[in-house]
Amino acid sequence: MSTFVRDDDVKEVSDVVKLFQMAEFCEVFLAARRIKNDDTEFIPMIQRGKLDKMPVETAEEMDAMFKMAVRELEKCSGDPRAFFKKLESGEYDPVSDFIDTDVMKDALGFVIMRRLRVNRGIVDEEEQYTEAKKIFNSVRDTMHRMVSETMIHAMSNLAEEVVKKELKFDDLSKHIEVKLSMVNDQGFAFSAEIKPSAFEAVEKSKKDKKKEVEYDPAWG
């Protein structure tokens, strides 16, 4: 993917765009996976233009974004529109909790330092660390934006299905299986499998309501 950036106008933005693109975004999740599993001896580099070659474990770790979308969706049953407004405005920000863990911050720092070595030829680790610190917050904000956009898009699509199929928002994570299905330089696609238990819960709720009406003492 080629990108034009006016270096003289927006130097810091330019640095972030050059260093952190979709391949690096995916690599953060791969690095996080390896860090959690204490398997950091060799973390493969995900190459730009070759996302089809990235390890499957990367996608498995990225599934967490979509599972977070389902968990958050459970909270909006009272007033979905108001909930989405809070998400989009940043008034409510679950994404920061997601990306600001020690594991994710270590993974992001690792990817930035590696990209500084590859892009700028900085081989000294102390110099890599110093340069990485200068742009870490800007790269972190880019990461936040990408995760937020992905989560809100997934939530919006899932909410439509929930309403269309007359499912309940409560306990949605028990009834829907979500996972990353595709990624390219432009974004992601995900798949969602609604389990039979979701429809069973709806039918049970309808029957319970019917019984309440049938045996309502107010009928005399």
pLDDT at 182 over 90: yes
> What domain count does the chain have?
1
Half-sphere exposure of 86 (CA within 13 A, CB side): 14
pLDDT at 170 over 90: no
Residue 181: inside a domain? yes
Residue 71: inside a domain? yes
Which has the minimum average pLDDT: 6-15, 22-31, 64-73, 179-188? 6-15
pLDDT at 106 over 80: yes
Structural domain span for residue 37? 11-215
Residue 1: inside a domain? no
Query: What DSSP line would sit under 121-144, residue for residue?
Result: ----HHHHHHHHHHHHHHHHHHHH
Residue 6: inside a domain? no
pLDDT at 110 over 60: yes
CA separation for the pair 52, 9 (Å, rounded) = 34
Residue 35: inside a domain? yes
pLDDT at 123 over 70: yes
Q: Report the b/e string of 102-124 with b at 16+ CB within 10 A.
A: eebbbbbbbbbbbbbeeeeebee
Residue 189: inside a domain? yes
Half-sphere exposure of 184 (CA within 13 A, CB side): 3
pLDDT at 131 over 60: yes
Residue 19: inside a domain? yes
Identify the pLDDT of residue 11.
55
Identify the pLDDT of residue 45.
97
